[in-house]
Amino acid sequence: MNPASEQLSLLATDGPAHQSATDAVRLLLFNAQHASVESSRCQAEWIAGQEGADIAILTEVSSTQGRRRPRHRAHRARVRHRDRPQPSAPDCRTVIACRTSAVRTVPSPVTVTPHRAPTARVSVGGHDIGVLGLYVPSRGPKGQRNVAKRAFQESVTESLPRLLAAFPDMPVIVAGDLNVIERGHQPPHKVFGNWEYDFHDSYQAAGLTDAFRHLHPDEVAHSWFGRSGNGFRFDHLFVSTPHAEHVLACNYHQEAREAGLTDHAVMTLRLGLPSTPGEQGEARATRAD
């Protein structure tokens, strides 16, 4: 079984398929928490049941997840997706999954551990969308503290201008668990260094807009909670700045985390598109939280 068909099972479900939207990009960001085979089955059924999501970015996916599940169940769900090749050594990765078959894998612009940064061109309603999923390494063990994290972040920062250039004049979405927080985060966390805040800043510098902050400039939101209960906004969605005005909704949802399916909040995005190429996009006034 080749890597692409191995991963077809990640969003498998025995339930009926949902109809994909044609007037908006509907994307869901989900941290798989290095799930076991059984836990990944529960996650897959939950994700496939989300009628308001046609594209799913799964972070922290086990390098063996999906191998033991039958391919035909994903076909019944009409869920197709592509993924970067397996890592050469055991490591978590990121997966881009779609309900539509109009997906084309493109080489990741991130050269360090690219299995954590898959890239795809997805067609929605006749419009092409560039998508990059990211799973930034954690700080790592004491002897290698921040080595992998720094290397990956530097590679991502260097790649962002190339990513936007590869998808000219079309919406580009970058979504993932960045394992960093924004400047001015509430509550503040002294553990983060300037190099980590600089990484978050690099998205705006490259021409990407924080979709959540664009709609909710002052809202305190968290996607992960430490043992002490302190919250962190680790999960992020960015949209190419020229298309930020068409962001209709971007929110965090705690239900899956509270149900024990993941230890992160789920994040969702709805980005308006013209009903046919060349028409004006959906009016900003119709935006829904």
Three-state SS at 100: coil
Q: Is the pLDDT of residue 39 over 70?
A: yes
The mean per-residue pLDDT over the stretch 125-140 comes to 92
Domain boundaries, the chain: 3-286
What is the per-residue pLDDT across 268-277, written as a single tens digit (0 to 9) for each? 999 999 764 4
Q: Is the pLDDT of residue 111 over 50?
A: yes
**Torsion angle of the four alpha carbons 240, 243, 247, 253, in this order, in degrees rounded to the nearest 10:** -10
H/E element, 48: helix 37-48
The mean per-residue pLDDT over the stretch 140-152 comes to 83
For the domain covering 3-286, report its CATH number: 3.60.10.10
- Judge contact between 69 and 35, C-beta under 8 A: no
User: What is the pLDDT, as a whole number, of residue 247?
Assistant: 98
Cis ω for the linkage preceding 187 (within 30 of 0): yes
Give the predicted TM-score (pTM) of the model: 0.85
Three-state SS at 264: strand
224's CB contacts (< 8 A; 6+ apart) are 231, 232, 234, 235, 263, 264, 265
Specify the higher pLDDT residue, 13 or 182. Answer: 182
Place of tokens 């490259």: 206
What is the DSSP secondary structure assignment for residue 108, as one 8-state letter?
A: -
Q: Could you give the CA distance from residue 263 to residue 33 in angstroms, rounded to a whole number?
A: 7
- Provide the sign of the torsion angle of the four alpha carbons 40, 224, 269, 178, taken in this order: negative
**Torsion angle of the four alpha carbons 143, 146, 149, 150, in this order, in degrees rounded to the nearest 10:** -120
Give the phi and the psi of residue 208 in degrees, each rounded to 5. -120, 145
Q: Could you give the CA distance from residue 28 to residue 250 in angstroms, rounded to a whole number?
A: 10
User: What is the pLDDT, as a whole number, of residue 38?
Assistant: 83
What is the per-residue pLDDT across 176-210, written as a single tens digit (0 to 9) for each? 999 998 998 998 898 888 999 999 999 999 999 99
Strands (E), the chain: 24-31, 55-61, 80-82, 93-98, 103-106, 119-124, 127-135, 172-177, 208-210, 224-225, 231-232, 235-240, 247-253, 266-272
- Judge contact between 172 and 240, C-beta under 8 A: yes
